[in-house]
Structure 1
Amino acid sequence: MPKIKNSILFFLLSLLTNISQVNSQEVFISNTQNRTFTSLNGKWKYVMDPYETGQIGFMPLYKNIKQKDKTDRVEYSFDSAQTLWVPGGWNVQKPELLYYEGSIWYRKTFDKENIAKDKRYYIYLGAANYNSTITFNGEILGEHEGGFTPFCYEVTHLIKKRDNYLIVGVNNTRSKDQIPAKVTDWFNHGGITRDVKLLEVPTAFVSNYFLSLNKSTLNLKTKQIDGSLTLTGGTFSQKVKVIIPELKVNKEIIVDSTGTCNFTISVKNLDLWSPKTPKLYKVSIETETEKINDRIGFRTIDTKGKQILLNGNPVFLKGISLHDENPLRRDRANSIDDAKLVLGWAKQLGCNFIRLAHYPHQENIVRLADEMGIMLWEELPLYWGIEWDNPKVLLKAKKQYTELINRDYNRASSIIWSIANETTPTKARNEFLKAIAEHVKSLDNTRLLSAACKKDQAGDGNPENHYTVSDPIMKYLDIVSFNEYLGWYGGLPEECRKKTITSSANKPIIVSEFGGGALQGFYADKLTRWSEEYQENLYIENLAMFNKIDGLAGMTPWILVDFMSPLRQLPDIQDGWNRKGLISEKGVKKKAFYILQDYYKTK
């Protein structure tokens, strides 16, 4: 339960209510949009849990207790409760919930008339922020920590034809042992923020699969696709087919009783995925009882010296940073229309690359980037204030990265995993990030690894007006990245003319953040803070400075569009918005948008 998991409180509640947790293990099931499912999105009833105990009037909320007769004491009612839309953050749906941090319990009721004996049923949540307790028909299925990655629980043993009730408790209270930790510069949207589905799969089903181009065969006429898959529920060897009709592939694989297997496929005349030609192939995974369709692109991403190579050719990453919000409705993004809005703006800017900051974004945006030919940087919120010396936090980070990699491995657009942002080197931090780098590489060696590194400033062994990027974690990375806010958090934009930047590593460099705030529609001169002219001039001076960097391979300025942040409260300027966007929260482009657009036309 939110905020009471593994606690004495949970033990006491168990004694009071005579319950025990159902033995339902959390599982991962990929590509849920191309499986048989019933959407559970829509209006959900909710009850607030201000003391975060999981009960009201000493009655557990997940039991959905109702009054039996007029003598019966019941102190809550989902039936007569108000509603919240799912998916969606609760903060923007009710004025009284704007800055609410705590527990809310959601209930969704539904019927399932056609329950098949040869099928299994799973509850899938695309994301819920941050701690979640998932219950079904009065039984606790399990708990999930992490606000941005998907999870599933089986309900085959509990589902009924009528009057099913799914009750999910969600708690978004910030804590120092979480990822992210207590302080962030973005809005803490609480609640069930992505799709909820009832999945229907065979008794034995393919729960996950990975396909990627073997980079060692890139320059050969016959290329090799490396693959692996996991069969869940199989107790004996089974045949699985991988079919790619356009490439005349019909590969039969034997999966043994362990449920996992690795395989290779030889292909000719393979068209590679790239921003200019974002080729996707229809892929089918078939067993005797199911068929899963997907659209997958094949490409390689590598480095050579200070160059990034896409399919063996140098590429400059013309990027922008992005938060996972739809600013027009002030909520966490959760739909294909939300993805189309922001990716459309990025395309207008001239981008071939987007940094999805600072946490996993919705799956729709990654799949749409595949189609539109936009490369992506993905990351976890290993950010300010992480408890680097806490082994439990390291385990949480590994689990969340596993969930993200499982979800997006087959997306050609995703080319970089980033393991940290704006973190100060210490022994504990360096060891933590080394462990994360090793973990990520053990799961996926088809992508590049980066992080927003720290810089040595003038006076740290550097001459005046020069600094070097020499973070200890650089040795574990493929790409060196750093954030630089000269002209905004220090000095004026013209000081960029004096500065030089180098790296101590012979690796490609990405400027992962730069920029400054501007209130759209506020016009003045280039020395007036918050004016569009100040931001415009800042971009002119910063771009000229970065252009002189040896090994510059890309950039992701901060940020595409203004985003919500409780840290930003300056009246009549910020009003709860970080104003560093090139586009306002109303969708209006600022002057600096066109400076960056013109710069990218030269790249």
Structure 2
Amino acid sequence: MRKLMLVLLACISALSLVKADTILNNVYARHTQSLNGSWNSIVDPFDNGYYDYRLNVSNNGFFKNQKAKSKSDLVEYNFDTAPLIKVPGDWNTQDDKLFFYEGSVWYKKDFNYTPKPGTKAFLYFGAVNYFCNVYLNGEQIGTHEGGFTPFNFDVTNKLKEGSNFVILRVNNERKPEGVPTVNSDWWNYGGITRDVLLVETPDVFVDDYLVQLPKGSYDKVEGYVQLNEKKAGVEVSVEIPELKIQKKLLTDAEGKAVFALKAKPKLWSPESPKLYDVIIRNGEDVLNDKIGFRQIETQGKNILLNGKKTFLRGISIHEEAPYRQGRVFSKEESMLLLSWAKELGCNFVRLAHYPHNEFMVRAAEEMGLMVWSEIPVYWTIHWSNPDTYKNASTQLNDMMERDKNRCGIIIWSVANETPHSDARDKFLADLAAQVRAKDNTRLLSMAMEVTGTKGNVSQVKDYMSKYVDIISFNNYLGWYGGTPEDCKTRQWDIPYDKPFFISEFGGGALQGKHGDKTERWTEEYQEELYKNTLDMYNRVDGFAGTSPWILMDFRSSRRQLNGIQDFFNRKGVISERGLKKKAFYVLQNFYKMKKEQELKH
């Protein structure tokens, strides 16, 4: 009851709090000061630093960073002597006592700053899981909900000359109305899990931009440049030196300049992941980016990349750090995971089940991997709750905003394995409409489920099929029902003139455990399951790709089998220690065969 009261009070008090500003686009191209490193931390399981003893939000909480001024002063916390925690990072893997912890942890960082005339300053967070209150110099500047999307606050008039301090109350308690909700199959890593930056811009700056091939065109580059203020007649420019583009533009009354320029760029593809240097200017405000150009579409039961039929040779990936475990936050760890995908022969990765860090998305694009990007609308979301929908919609918007210039992303996904109901259908249909209104250059999908089996025929019939470009579904025949042998005779009823994609299949295996191919948890069982599953789908008309579950074993509180799972989901084709299982090579050989077939045609 007390925990419920805390959650309700937090929700009520949050209604009056300032929410994060519009997300800064391409933050790493801006002038930044890193606030990463060691932060002081206080674990607060009863939220003593946030509520008073009557469970009212305290006006004198830990965010005040109080110090005892005399020997007789009573101050029951001290950030200066509190333990250090690394940012970015999750608290679960930094302290054994916090391995299973879900609740509040306070973070504090001291930093120096020198204000500059004509300069704005923003406090930027790559991600904080799940809900956070942000305070600067003892004053709350805002809140944010959602564990996988970036946010920032304008702190120009709140920073002081010299010493400043920022404090966060981070809470990762799972909530029934949350996105994701209370039940999921990955670890609920709490903390400031991605970069923290102090970002400087001019007073009037380029707030946003888009540079792309319009849908269906190969000889034109179009987009826009958007200022942070509604100022007309401001000169901005778009430059793509390699294409000999240097276009000056004037903003309209909304502070926006739209362009459409003749050009024939070399197209981005997995075989040739060409990216162009793009420069956006507004006076001395200069943003550099690397942008690729491609077309992705469907035609009947085929997926076409740049007008050519392609098979999505994929793998699903969680943002789980190899070797050390914990939440991935660096480019190096992202590239290691992606390099394993490339070794498999992949041209595609499904980044599940939430927006991954920006380094992962950019590295995939640079390495020639097409990307499925999704939000954590997962399993039993509260479909009839307006606040839950608003939360999901905001996360969808923020994911698309951050990565809209990443040509490697070819699919926006709005859900995974959601139970059928009228409320669910409306929820997802509205999210699908949001995607369509915002972006017509990518494909839309969601991971659905098999809806029934009659005799030897499995059916995929979902109301949401009319909204998606690709019929994507998860199916674990041979693991959650049946045996690998059943794949040899199973037939499929997928009554849509659209390509179908197997967003998940697989089974668990403990790396190094060997036995008969009928023995669960052995590498041989998983190997046989992969062989038979791939053969099964390869016989079905419209099979356009797959992203088996999953690249690497990952932590999950749901997976409790002692001596086998030990709180790991063991469906990876690679262990958490980086050792490949036998199924890895089955998938690798299948992808080699599919690539050879594609090259012949």
TM-score (norm 2): 0.94
Partner of 1:532: 523
Deviation at 1:68, TM superposition (A): 2.0
C-alpha separation in 1, matches of 2:463 and 2:317: 27
* 1:498 aligned partner, one-letter code: T
Contact persistence 1:24–1:154 (CA under 8 A):
no
Name the SS of the counterpart of 1:533 in structure 2. Answer: helix
Of 234, 241, 244, the match for 1:238: 234
Residue identity matched to 1:494: E
Post-superposition Cα deviations, 1:406-425, rounded to whole Å, max 9, x if no partner, equal: 11111111000111111111
| Offset of residue 132 of structure 1 | 1.0
For residues 242 and 427 of structure 1, the distance between their equivalents in structure 2, rounded to whole angstroms, comes to 46
* Cα contact 2:322–2:333 (8 A) shared by 1: no
Task: Tell me what 1:570 maps to.
Answer: 561
Separation in structure 2 between the aligned mates of residue 450 and residue 415 of structure 1, nearest angstrom: 10
- Structure 1 distance, partners of 2:19, 2:89, is 26
Q: Pick closer, same or farther for the CA change 1:474–1:212 going to 2, 3 Å.
A: same
CA shift for structure 1 position 162: 1.8
- What CA distance in whole angstroms lies between the structure 2 residues aligned with 1:237 and 1:164? 38
Which shifted more, 52-61 or 566-575?
52-61
Q: Which amino acid aligns with 1:142?
A: G
SS at match of 2:28: helix
What is the DSSP-based 3-state SS (H/G/I as helix, E as strand, rest coil) of the residue aligned with 2:397? helix
**Residue 49 (structure 2) pairs with residue 49 (structure 1):** no
| Matching of residue 390 in structure 1 with residue 385 in structure 2 | yes
Give the direction of change, closer, same or farther, for the CA distance of 1:314–1:143 in structure 2 (3 Å limit): same
2:415 to 403, 415, 420: 420
- 1:381 to partner: Cα distance: 1.1
- The offset of 1:240, in angstroms, is 0.7
Contact 1:4 1:52 in 2 (8 A): no
Count of residue pairs the alignment pairs up: 586
State the match for 2:105 in structure 1. 104
> Is the Cα contact below 8 Å between 1:26 and 1:142 reproduced in 2?
no
1:225 aligns with 2:221: yes
Separation of aligned partners in 1, 2:68 and 2:315: 55
Residues 1:504 and 2:495 are matched in the alignment: yes
Question: Which one-letter code corresponds to 2:588 in the other structure?
Answer: Q
> Equivalents in 1 of 2:14, 2:126: separation in Å?
28
Shift of 1:253: 1.6
Equivalent position amino acid for 2:388 in 1: V
Worse overlay, 43-52 or 571-580:
43-52
What is the match of residue 141 of structure 2? 141
Aligned pair 1:252/2:253, yes or no? no
RMSD of aligned residue pairs (Cα, Å): 2.0
Which position in structure 2 is the counterpart of 1:91? 92
CA distance in 2 between partners of 1:13 and 1:124 (Å): 20
Which of 580, 585, 588 is the equivalent residue of 1:594?
Answer: 585
C-alpha separation in 2, matches of 1:24 and 1:557:
38
Look up the match of 2:447.
Answer: 452
Q: 1:560 to 1:257 in 2, by over 3 A?
A: same
Distance in 1 (CA, whole Å) between partners of 2:12 and 2:478 is 55
Matching of residue 364 in structure 1 with residue 359 in structure 2: yes
SS class of match (2:465): helix
Range 541-550 or range 70-79, more displaced: 70-79
Secondary structure, aligned partner of 2:113: coil
Judged with a 3 Å threshold, the aligned counterparts in structure 2 of structure 1 residues 388 and 225 are, in CA distance, closer, same or farther, namely same
Q: CA deviation at 1:215?
A: 2.8
The one-letter amino acid paired with 1:232 is N
Residue 106 of structure 1, CA deviation: 0.5
Distance 1:34 1:232 in 2: 17
What are structure 1's unaligned runs of at least 5 residues?
A: 15-19
* Aligned mates of 1:52, 1:508 — CA distance in 2: 50
Note the C-alpha offset of 1:110.
0.4
**2:236 & 2:5 partners in 1: Cα distance?**
43
Deviation at 1:11, TM superposition (A): 8.6
Out of 593-602 and 53-62, give the one that drifted further: 53-62
CA contact (8 A) 2:40 2:83 kept: yes
1:214 aligns with 2:209: no
CA pair 13-600 structure 1, distance change in 2 beyond 3 A: closer
Q: 2: CA distance between counterparts of 1:510 and 1:118?
A: 52
Pick one of 271, 278, 284 that aligns with 1:289. 284
How many angstroms apart in 1 are the aligned matches of 2:506 and 2:487? 12
- Of 410-419 and 70-79, deviating more is 70-79
Other-structure match for 1:380: 375
State the shift of 1:105 in Å. Answer: 1.1
SS in 2 for 1:534: helix
Corresponding residue number in structure 2 for 1:125:
125
Counterpart of 1:179 in structure 2 is 179
Partners of 1:455 and 1:74 in 2: CA distance: 58
- Report SS of the residue matched to 1:482: strand
Q: Is the 8 A contact 1:110 1:163 kept in 2?
A: yes
